[in-house]
Structure 1
Amino acid sequence: MIKKSVLIYGEYSGYGKSLADGFKQLGYKSEVFSFSGDGFKKINSGITLPEKNKIQRYISIIKLIPTFLKFKNIIIINPEFVSRKNLGFLILSIFKLTRKRIILMACGDDTPFIKYGLENIIPNWPYSDIPLPQKDYFLKEKDIFTNNLIASLAFKIIPVMYDYRVSWEQTKFKNKLTKTIPLACDGELQPIKKTKDKIVIMHGINRIDFKGTKVVKSALNEIEKKYPNDVEIIYPEHLPLTEYLEIMKRVDIAIDQTKGNSYGMNAIYSMFSGHVVLAPANDLFLNDINLQDSPIVKIKNTKESIVNSLSLLIEAKNMLDDKKKASQEYAVNVHSPVKIAEKIEHYLI
């Protein structure tokens, strides 16, 4: 019997590694191809491409093609990973010629997310009040070409959250779009830290404007003044994933982000670690994945929203340990790698 196999092409914040873990639990041969371990996060994701000059990079990718071809299914995390600078046209052509089943994830910034965000179609779009990272961000001709090429070759396009589903629904590829399948996370359940006299509140610093960090810091400054003897605030910044997860062990409350309609991988790792998490997680998000409610404390992109939510938690600190337990149960039920892999498996060969 030929073993089922799937290659995860690209890595974002441990999501690729988590998907591979889920498929392995289902009996698949599964690996992640990561171009750099997702930058400073240094995620150990399996097949990696060392940082080299352009020519060496091309040679390294070409040498890996026989390894890629050992897999029957290819899950591409984002069109960026098959862009021209990554020999995307060559790689996609080979995948198509060798009849690989290609699945594209709608995950992270891409052409539809930027285009339809600018057209005010995505509620609470993170870039609505800040400049884009660069001119014509994901809207250059080469970006649009890459996006359309991979979408045309993909068997299905799977959104990981409401924001990406809405943007891809506006495209000519909407017939390939599946229901939203949430992010997978391979976080390990940690012993729940008993809440002590000082509540430790964390906000990880990463993509400051996109995540709403200025608003979060302003709110936390007020909380420190309001409860000087009751809280400790920490801001881990640009840490490798392993170090970040170690810091999480002393945290009670984590603020993920204030923008968008959902939450990211950091929030899910926090829930596995037993934190009470603050994030948008609004009704658009809940309805999209058929949930009635979640233990995530819902916040908006305002200082007042965060201060009010934290104040309620601090003043009812005897309830925090129960809320931490609810966070862990939710993370296991909604984001466990094997459960997510089972949902994606329907579209594989």
Structure 2
Amino acid sequence: MKILLVGEYSRLHNSLKEGLEFLGHAVTIIGDGDLFKNYPVDISIKPKILHFNWFTRKCKVAFYKLTSIDLALYESAFRFYWHQKKLKNYDVVQFINSNALKTPLFLQKKQLDYLKKNNKKLFLCACGTDTPIIEYLLKNKMKYHILTPVLLGEHSKETFKFEFSYTSCKYKKYYAYFENLLDGIIPSDIDYFLALQNNLKTIQLIPNPINTERLLKKSVNLSAKIQIFLGINSMTELKKGCHYFEKALKVIAEKYKGKVKITVTRNLPYRQYIQHYNNAHILLDMVYAYDQGYNALEAMAKGKVVFTGAEQEFLDYYKLKENEVCINALPSVVYLVEKLSWLIENPSEIERIGKNASAFVEKEHHYVHIAQKYLKVYETAFR
């Protein structure tokens, strides 16, 4: 098959590409690399001119303040049209999000029409914030989720402007147009499956693909200080509940002076982020989740003990026990301190959970195995 993957937010599409190519398929990724994260893409639509230096960035911001028009979106649209001859004759086009192209919506509709007309099947990999996800979360059927801070009144809707932009009348109209073009929706974890399970276009949950062969596993040295890592992305820290981790780490730093090394970083490109966490025994990923995202799974594959989503729905789906492959991170500083203390005082548990985590990712998320699942879905659509 010839496959076009549109957008990249977490290296999911890169790992899927590697799995599909291993199986003999031709795969191309188009996207902006998620800006500062700089994920690899084959065809870049990243706005380079407007991000060239401080002056062009200042001009872009000033123009936006005067007109509410983001010129970077138009530059990305121009780059799409520059490359559009390369975007034809694919068997499958898969989007990472309804706004994967990050261009003005009126132009993005035309770009969708072009992709639909010149290719065979269109799919959405549901793995992040999108219209039906936000609408489901606002019904508040889950114990907690990325919008919990808003629903509890801890933060205003303005603080979560990005998430709520997906529920504007303009965007909902665009999303309906986008979804109508799709041949199927594929949720990547329990959080998204719960939101989409009643959608008629939802096919099945296919877990995140992880290329375990490219991840170097370091042996865990527990004789020295226990190393704890928290990597914060300012754009997502509130919806991930990072403030719970930060408060817990202050307690741990005071409680275990000389026994732990705590590293906290902000807004690092993917490669630097990975370098910083490689030496960690424990990684703090996310509070407001039922299942693991891509970064958590990569860390688990390396044998880290990850604090992340691991609710009962996740345990039931994979037939696991509590604390078997990761630690379920709850929105409670007291709870997080308790779990961190347990690991620090029982380092053999770090080794046990780390080994289980690595084996779990190898079994349930191996990139070739997951690529085979995607291919089965693609092939079924042609019958």
Relative to the length of structure 2, the TM-score reads 0.84
1:186 equivalent in structure 2: 211
- The one-letter code matched in structure 2 to 1:348 is Y
1:150 equivalent in structure 2: 178
Mean Cα displacement is larger for which, 220-229 or 82-91?
82-91
- The one-letter code matched in structure 2 to 1:296 is C
Contact map agreement 1:193 1:249 (CA 8 A) in 2? no
1:103 equivalent in structure 2: 123
Residue 156 (structure 1) shift: 1.1
1:329 equivalent in structure 2: 359
Contact map agreement 2:325 2:353 (CA 8 A) in 1? yes
In 2: Cα distance, 1:100 partner to 1:83 partner: 22
Helix, strand or coil at the partner of 2:33: coil
In 2: Cα distance, 1:320 partner to 1:48 partner: 40
1:28 equivalent in structure 2: 25
Aligned length: 341
Higher relative contact order (CA 8 A, sep 6+): 1
TM-align CA RMSD: 2.0
- The one-letter code matched in structure 2 to 1:338 is V
2:239 equivalent in structure 1: 210
Contact map agreement 1:16 1:45 (CA 8 A) in 2? no
Residue 99 (structure 1) shift: 4.5
2:99 equivalent in structure 1: 80
Deviations 1:52-85 (A, max 9, x none): 4455433321122221114210111110125661
Tell me if 1:347 matches 2:377: yes
Relative to the length of structure 1, the TM-score reads 0.91
| Gap change, CA 1:219 and 1:71, over 3 Å in 2 | same
| Gap change, CA 1:317 and 1:83, over 3 Å in 2 | closer
2:58 equivalent in structure 1: none
- The one-letter code matched in structure 1 to 2:218 is P
Percent same amino acid among aligned pairs?
A: 25
Residue 117 (structure 1) shift: 1.1
Segments of 5+ residues of structure 2 without an aligned counterpart are 50-70, 151-155
Contact map agreement 1:256 1:277 (CA 8 A) in 2? yes
Q: Which of 289, 302, 315 is the matching residue for 2:332?
A: 302
Contact map agreement 1:111 1:144 (CA 8 A) in 2? yes
In 2: Cα distance, 1:265 partner to 1:106 partner: 13
2:114 equivalent in structure 1: 94
2:193 equivalent in structure 1: 165
| Gap change, CA 1:292 and 1:193, over 3 Å in 2 | closer
Q: Which of 217, 221, 227 is the matching residue for 1:200?
A: 227
- The one-letter code matched in structure 1 to 2:224 is D
Residue 45 (structure 1) shift: 2.4
Helix, strand or coil at the partner of 1:314: helix
Contact map agreement 1:192 1:321 (CA 8 A) in 2? no
